[in-house]
Structure 1
Amino acid sequence: MKMLAIDCAASLCAACVYDAGAGVERGRHVLDLGKGHAEHLMAVIEAALKAGGIGYRELDAVAVSIGPGSFTGLRVGVSTARGLALALKIPAIGVTTLEALAAEAANAFPGRAVLAALDGGREEIHAALFDKALALTYGPAVATLSEATGMAVNATAVLAGTAAPLIAAAAGHGFDIGPVVATADIATYARLAAAKGAGEKPKPLYLRGADAKPQAGFILPRQGHEAGKPGFGKDHGPKGKKS
């Protein structure tokens, strides 16, 4: 099975071609953008396909990171993966950033529980706890720093993700720590998706709402809100005419 993997969950705009049958990566292309995934993703995908020596029609599946991560980046990655899957009539498979980070930590420290945790800002930790077999036992969910620290201590877990240093400092003692990054290597998403197989259509995993909200000063009040119907005033009929 030839798989295209896409990741726009953090600052990277990444794609790779993975041969699941042989268990090898055939080609990749990665840009560290910060922003602008929508403008660059298709070019990144085409560069990865070229490096892998295959075309779109040779793909059997598309893998995509579904978050938690960048609100806009996740929408770009997931919508692109689903669009390609629809056009090519192949499955799209979602993999969370937390399970990908946990898989990388487990490779470094096999046979251990893993707490994958990202610093969500606003004193939030986006966390998921995995047991020794990498089965999910908690989350993905928003936790406080004290809650995440308690889980890590109780499970004697390996830490992974951007919140790992925060948790270790809060605990006051050392932990084994895997990757301290916001997203995993692109090939990790491909390998995990190949192991999962087809399932539900991927959708972005948002653990909190978007930061951008309408400014109250620019919201116009609905006409005739007293009557509860647009266009009706208190003593008026439709469009403000006297009844």
Structure 2
Amino acid sequence: MSKLLLSLETSSPVCSVALHRLDTGKLVGQSELRLEKSHSSHLSVLINQLLENTLYTLQDVAAVAVSDGPGSYTGLRIGAAAAKGLCYALDIPLLAISTLQSLAYQIAAATARPEQFLYCPMLDARRMEVYAGVYRADGTEVLAPTPLLLDENTLNEQLDGHSLLFFGSGAAKFQPLVAEKAQAGFLSGIEPSAVAVGALALRAYEQQQFKSVAYYEPFYLKDVYTTTPKNKA
């Protein structure tokens, strides 16, 4: 029986799932849906369709990986709930992979001479704020995930003497602020992918870096505040 890793990415408006073989690391298949606010109703459909299309069943899944955040609060909650539910029902381990680190891996893996760059994924956090981190091509953290208020001096230390690639949903609003800095490069149209989550989760699986199915919570990076509507106060 084939043993598969099922990976879920729900931190952005793109909902995606992927299957990798645990023995070879080979990508078996992937599926995604680019539809706003569709994760809750379409995630399970994407999973079932991917398994059906690749001629596997849930009984072939030996571990589940989920994008850990930061990202959309609602999206992360949906992904975590689905991953925990599958792990509990199938009695299999849970893995959680940093959304920012998987984005950096995604770009470094597709970059020629990747060691010449630092990688800075930026996720939009509204107004002039982003969630960002800086990584080397091998995944080493230069700057741990953090909320950043963007201005012309943001990441000056990292840009000093390094070529940085910026990408993700928050990068476009940073670009005009550093237009004069030749060492800052920008990539557009980059979205988190379950394939990259799965690639990093394969390493985590080998090292048995499993999460508690009962107590796991996504890494939101900032506290989430909710208010009571006035008509319900």
Q: TM-score, normalised by structure 2?
A: 0.84
1:87 paired residue number: 89
Determine the C-alpha separation between the residues in 1 that align with 2:99 and 2:189: 12
Q: State the aligned residue count.
A: 218
Identity of aligned residues (%): 24
Higher relative contact order, structure no. (Cα contacts within 8 Å, ≥ 6 residues apart): 2
Conservation of the 8 A alpha-carbon contact between 2:163 and 2:185: no
Counterpart Cα distance in 1 of 2:44 and 2:137: 37
Partner secondary structure for residue 108 of structure 2? helix
Instruction: Kindly indicate whether the alpha-carbon contact (under 8 Å) linking 1:104 and 1:178 is maintained by their aligned counterparts in 2.
Output: no
Q: CA deviation at 1:70?
A: 1.4
Q: Give the counterpart letter for 1:160 in structure 2.
A: F
Which of 208, 223, 227 is matched with 1:213 structurally? Answer: 227
Does the 8 Å contact 1:113/1:134 carry over to 2?
no
Backbone CA RMSD of aligned residues: 2.1
Instruction: Using the TM superposition, give the Cα deviation of residue 152 of structure 1 relative to its aligned residue in structure 2, in angstroms.
Output: 4.4
**SS at the partner of 1:166?**
coil
* Contact 1:130 1:138 (C-alpha < 8 Å) held by counterparts: yes
CA contact (8 A) 1:114 1:157 kept: yes
Correspondence 1:133 to 2:138: yes
Check whether the contact 1:94–1:203 (CA below 8 A) recurs between aligned residues. Answer: no
Q: Secondary structure at the match of 1:100?
A: helix
Q: Secondary structure at the match of 2:70?
A: coil
SS in 2 for 1:64: strand
* Among 169, 184, 189, the residue aligned to 2:192: 184
Which shifted more, 132-141 or 117-126? 132-141
State the one-letter code of the partner of 1:70: S
CA radius of gyration, larger in: 1
Q: Quick one: distance in 1 between partners of 2:4 and 2:44?
A: 18
SS at match of 2:185: coil
Q: Which moved more, 1:68-77 or 1:28-37?
A: 28-37
Amino acid at match of 1:122: R
Q: In structure 1, what is the Cα distance between the partners aligned to 2:118 and 2:8?
A: 27
Offset of residue 192 of structure 1: 0.8
Q: Given residue 197 of structure 2, which amino acid in structure 1 is its aligned partner?
A: Y
Is residue 2:211 matched to residue 1:200?
yes
* Cα gap change, 1:169 to 1:152, in 2 (>3 Å): farther
CA–CA separation in structure 1 for the residues paired with 2:155 and 2:15: 31
Of the structure 1 ranges 42-51 and 209-218, higher mean CA displacement relative to structure 2 is found in: 209-218
The aligned amino acid for 2:170 is: A
Query: Is 2:150 aligned against 1:150?
Result: no
Q: What amino acid sits opposite 1:196 in the alignment?
A: A
2:66 corresponds to 1:64: yes
Q: For structure 1, which runs of at least 5 residues remain unmatched after alignment?
A: 220-243
Gaps of 5+ in 2: none
